Amino acid sequence: MTTSSFEFTDKNQQVEVTSANKSLTFSIVKPEIIQVFQDYGKSTHSYAVEGDKTVDTKYAVSKDADHVIIKTDALTVKVDADLHVDVYDQDNHPLVIHYDGQRESINQNIDSAHKKIVRSEGHEVAAVDEASKTYYEVLNQLDDDEQFYGLGDKTGFLNKRGYEYDNWNVDEPRPHIETFTHLYKSIPILFGIKQGHPYGLFFDNTYRSHFDLGKESAKYYVYSADDGNLNYYILGGRTLKDVVADYTYLTGVVPLPQRWMLGYQQSRWGYSMDPKRVEEIVDKFEQYHLPLEAIHFDIDYMKGYRVFTWDTDKFADPKGFLTSLRKRGVRVIPILDPGVKQDDDYDIYQEGLKKGYFAKNKDGSVYINRVWPGKSAFPDFGNPDVRKWWGKHCKFLLDKGAAGIWTDMNEPATFDGDMPDDVVMTDEDQPSTAKMMHNVYGHNMAKATYNGIKDATGKRPYVITRAAYAGTQKYSTAWTGDNQSLWHHLQMSIPQLCNLGLSGFSYAGTDIGGFSADTTPELLTRWIEAALFSPLFRNHSALQVRNQEPWVFGKQVLDIYRKFLNLRYRFIPYLYDCFKNETETGLPVMRPLVLNYPDDETVRNMNDEYMVGDNILVAPIVQQGQTARAVYLPEGEWIALDSGVQYSGRTNILANVPIDKLPVFIKKDTLMPWGQAVEHISDKPDTKMTFRLFGNAATYTHYQDDGIDFNYQKGEYNQYVVSVTADGNCQIKLDHHGYAGQYQTIDVQLNDRVVEFKFDDKSDSYVAAK
């Protein structure tokens, strides 16, 4: 290689490094974020990063014989004449170092005849030799201690090291196991900890892509893509939290949900075949005093699975029916699939056809595949006009009283074979194909739905999506698709939700009890316990599997289930505060211990515990038959919620966990809001709030607004700072008073007494009752 052509230009935080007629562009977004771009002539529109994120940043560029060196306060990037990239942190610790050796193929000695035999016995063999064919790849050194997190909804364990993954959204009905390389979502954010130092790599490319995180070799890890530009962001920072925050800085945070969205939701495929069944379910919730916010309506409420229709043979008066449920405190969330039935007598199909809103074959005809309605066309959601059209039609459901929309099958799933890569779709204002648009199909559907709901109602929209891309968290909560009633899937729910949280999806959940297969009393009980703090809190099951409502297994399960639903409601104000913090810090609500304790090596592979914010640690039972478990407590002092017993951390304790117990530990010196155990979350403000002290002294900032609309953005919210000092002095400061629904009474529960505060109108403050 001649080094004479190795040079750089530097303009407005963009450094272009050129060598032998190739160039890489480094855009300095902020000190901790540098974008790396190589032009392959493909679309540069980002679905994940909306708007310009660049902030004025101090940086320096220099060149020595071997490297161009870009330096910010947080990162040093060194580029050599082969355009290989090395990254160091502010203290010169290596974060991302190019691997100079050759890839070592695993399958190199297996010839195709041999592969054929292996396949004919039913084993899977890679069709192409990974090491032999990629469009481009990023190949980096792997250290012995390197750990990986993130990547969205991938199966398996918290730490992704040693596995390979694909980014290609699929509908996967088989039981999800850790050898699966991809599920419904493509979130190409990789967090690494190398020699104790955190970094992130976000590959913003919607084409099919691949990670090998040390499967092929323990010496390197690889990212490769089938197409698209080389486009990735290097994320740095002092802590893993900083790096996760970089990612949500780029792709956005989950917007503040409505308060009721944090409550309990019941679903089952089949409920909405019959309004009587729905009523029966609501009756039972009332009869057994179980809290309930919403019932989800699966595909059966529609007329022959036609989207934006309601089967009036089944529901004579959908609006009246939904209104009657709403009066009982229960909302309805109907489902929408993307497939629009090919039916000349169906207005949505006709309209879409006339306006050219469906994906097309290469020859210009409408692309048709079979889904629930039969032969169907697929809206071209990458086209902003199509999104507006879809959003506008959501009004049909909202006018009937729907409180949100569940978007399913948006990978998109198809029954008659996969949608070919060359199906013609739109990339905003440019023609494109499914090859590029597939992985953002669900993203764009969720975005269309979010905006449709927002325009029609002015409330914070509730969308639940199955397929997603990086950034979808701005528009939708997500569930993890068709899990099964298997202990293994209960176990997996923890790392899966934790990695989704790190990947921006702070608001996510799994089908509690399991979707497919038959749950058992014990599994259902342990599931409602383990999912206690799952942001999305929904029990859902498939047609034909054993019923799994809280009461079907008799009194013991019902009583335990109710106890945990009530406990969940106690934590809703805390969860709501966590969401408020999430909108400001970009950090997830439900999170792996490694996020809070990145220097504690014990927690780097912790799959069966999780934290909620910074102060709650949860260690559920996720094994059949188990009634005791080791609980690892990280540094500090911890107080068991149940018993009040205090433990010192950095060690394992043995917890006895009979079937009706969930080990929850509160970090010592925490004040925590303690909500009411209501059966339905009211639209009216709570008149009273309680704060509980765990430990001796603490300060806590609590947020309150109407929990419904966007007026908080205009200042209509309250902020309370509650503090207790070690000598028992207790204070409440109303830091911001913009919402007229302030609490009238606030109780602070200390260890030995309760201090009651009353709101005093005249002084606009809280005064301790004598």
Distance CA 87, CA 94 (A): 6
- From candidates 331, 466, 489, 580, binder to ligand MIG by CB under 6 A: 466
Helix (H) or strand (E) holding 755: strand 754-760
Is the Cβ of residue 248 or residue 483 nearer to ligand MIG in the bound state? 483
Q: Is 153 in the site for ligand MIG (CB under 6 A)?
A: no
Using CB atoms within 10 A of its CB, is residue 700 exposed (0-12), middle (13-18) or buried (19+)?
buried
Check if the beta carbon of residue 502 is closer than 8 Å to that of residue 496. no
Q: How far is the CB of 272 from ligand MIG (least distance, A)?
A: 10
Q: Interaction with ligand MIG in 305-364: which residues (CB under 6 A)?
A: 335
Q: How far is the CB of 406 from ligand MIG (least distance, A)?
A: 8
Is the Cβ of residue 298 or residue 582 nearer to ligand MIG in the bound state? 298
Is the Cβ of residue 302 or residue 755 nearer to ligand MIG in the bound state? 302
Q: Using CB under 6 A as the criterion, what x/- string covers residues 261-280 for binding ligand MIG?
A: --------x-----------
- From candidates 80, 411, 482, 582, binder to ligand MIG by CB under 6 A: 482
Tokens in use for 416? 């008659």
529 catalytic residue (yes or no): no
Distance CA 600, CA 622 (A): 23
Is the Cβ of residue 468 or residue 572 nearer to ligand MIG in the bound state? 468
Distance CA 680, CA 326 (A): 10
Distance CA 349, CA 547 (A): 36
Q: How far is the CB of 170 from ligand MIG (least distance, A)?
A: 12
Q: How far is the CB of 269 from ligand MIG (least distance, A)?
A: 4
C-alpha count within 13 angstroms, C-beta hemisphere, residue 260: 28
Give the β-pairing of 610-612 and 616-618. antiparallel
Is the Cβ of residue 147 or residue 539 nearer to ligand MIG in the bound state? 539
Is the Cβ of residue 409 or residue 633 nearer to ligand MIG in the bound state? 409
From the list 408, 549, 608, 609, the catalytic residue is 408
Q: Interaction with ligand MIG in 190-249: which residues (CB under 6 A)?
A: none
- From candidates 408, 411, 582, 679, binder to ligand MIG by CB under 6 A: 408
Distance CA 18, CA 1 (A): 13
347 catalytic residue (yes or no): no
Long-range Cβ contacts of 161-166 (<8 Å, 24+ apart): 161/213, 161/214, 162/213, 162/214, 162/215, 163/213, 163/214, 163/215, 164/130, 164/210, 164/211, 164/212, 164/213, 164/215, 164/216, 165/210, 165/211, 165/213, 166/208, 166/209, 166/210, 166/211
- From candidates 481, 504, 550, 620, binder to ligand MIG by CB under 6 A: 481
- 270's CB contacts (< 8 A; 6+ apart) are 277, 298, 300, 543
From the list 80, 300, 337, 411, the catalytic residue is 411
Helix (H) or strand (E) holding 323: helix 318-327
Distance CA 658, CA 678 (A): 26
- 723's CB contacts (< 8 A; 6+ apart) are 671, 698, 699, 700, 730, 731, 732, 733
Is the Cβ of residue 515 or residue 703 nearer to ligand MIG in the bound state? 515
DSSP state of 365: S
Q: How far is the CB of 618 from ligand MIG (least distance, A)?
A: 25
705 catalytic residue (yes or no): no
Distances (CA, A) of 430 to 43, 232, 424, 439, 451: 8, 22, 11, 17, 22
Q: How far is the CB of 268 from ligand MIG (least distance, A)?
A: 8
Is the Cβ of residue 295 or residue 619 nearer to ligand MIG in the bound state? 295
- From candidates 32, 216, 298, 705, binder to ligand MIG by CB under 6 A: 298
Find the residue with minimal CB distance to ligand MIG: 269
Is the Cβ of residue 199 or residue 515 nearer to ligand MIG in the bound state? 515
From the list 246, 482, 669, 705, the catalytic residue is 482
Check if the beta carbon of residue 311 is closer than 8 Å to that of residue 303. yes
Size of the site for ligand MIG (CB under 6 A): 11
Distance CA 512, CA 490 (A): 8
Which residues bind to ligand MIG, rule: CB under 6 A?
Answer: 269, 298-299, 335, 408-409, 466, 481-482, 515, 540
Which of the residues are catalytic?
A: 408, 411, 482
